[in-house]
Amino acid sequence: MKIHPMWKKYPSLQAELKACNALIEKNITIKNKDVNQKITELLSSGGKMLRPAYTIMFSQYKKDADSKKAQAIAAAIEVLHLATLVHDDVIDESPLRRGQETINSRYDNRVAVYTGDYLFTVCFRLLSDYVEDAGALQLDNNGMEKILIGELNQMDMTFNPKMTMRNYIHQIQGKTAQLFALSCYAGAYEEGSEKLAKAAYQIGNNIGLAFQIIDDILDYTQKTDVMGKPIMNDFKKGIYTAPLLFAMQENRRAFEPYIAKKEQISEEELEEVYHLIQQYRGEEKAKELADKYTQKALKQIERLPDNPVKEQLLIITEQALMRNN
């Protein structure tokens, strides 16, 4: 089982994440070899496992923490994340995920939807086997509701020229920040400190917001392999993110004709949009906002009680949120 190289510098955390991955593998009990292998591939295809890492780090705030329990919660959160990835790929008809053929592409949507469903049940089995308190379980439920509301909001706003930064923050709150917040919260909560858990929730929330904004910036700054043009997949799908929305605040009218073209937009026009975003400093402002949330998270971590794990939390958060920035 491969673990992302970023954890090499933290041998004890790396060992916990390996144990977490092994626990997931042990709980994937589909007898169909092909599907089993696709799930295992997804598991070991180089995801950073940031969410479970936060769960484990926050659980270590307590001396003599029950590491089996923390591993189970971390595993449940990673499996929940994988389930949403599998379903996202169905919805977006994506052929590839982390460089591997997706389940919907290899098999079909039916298998992929049910595989995602299966992963949900694995998530709940992990929680019910290892966690006595239903608190963590209930959280997942509320979490799913927030994700759903985020998605609903996104749908209403697709190709909508009235989309605003306010809507955007609301969307990424549900889509991404929620699960980061839960990851941190559950680690701290299960170790018994309600006060720490509340702080952890806020920290995870800010990390998640920064993480998603950075991801959305990459859609503009990363270039396609062949032509060297910006990817701009989100824009093509009518999903408007921070760089565009900041630029639109400066001159909404300049963008409206491009938005009105919807899926019919040409490659040349896409490049024009890209240059307009640069002109109105959309990318720069989006980076500033991501940085604002990162700094907020770092400050909140600094305010936590002193503990050996605090330094690690600071370094890893900085490292996670500095990618291609």
Contact residues: a second copy, CB under 8 A: 29-32, 35, 83-84, 87, 90-91, 107-111, 113-118, 120-122, 124-125, 127-129, 134, 137-138, 140-141, 144-145, 147-149, 151-152, 154-155
Residue 127 or 298 with smaller CB distance to a second copy: 127
Place of tokens 């009518």: 238
* Shortest reach from residue 40's CB to a second copy, in Å: 15
Q: Let me know if 177 is exposed, middle or buried by CB neighbors in 10 A (0-12, 13-18, 19+).
A: buried
- C-beta of residue 201 within 8 angstroms of C-beta of residue 181: yes
* Shortest reach from residue 140's CB to a second copy, in Å: 6
Please report the DSSP string for 273-303 in residue order. Answer: HHHHHHHTTHHHHHHHHHHHHHHHHHHHHHT
Residue 119 or 286 with smaller CB distance to a second copy: 119
The three-point CA angle 61-209-273 to 5° equals: 155
* Shortest reach from residue 124's CB to a second copy, in Å: 4
Residue 141 or 324 with smaller CB distance to a second copy: 141
Residue 109 or 307 with smaller CB distance to a second copy: 109
Sign for the CA dihedral angle at 191, 317, 289, 222 comes to negative
Q: Report residue 304 CA to chain centroid gap.
A: 24
Residue 237 or 323 with smaller CB distance to a second copy: 237
* Shortest reach from residue 259's CB to a second copy, in Å: 19
* Shortest reach from residue 218's CB to a second copy, in Å: 22
Contacts of 104 (CB under 8 A, 6+ apart): 86, 89, 90, 93, 94, 111, 112
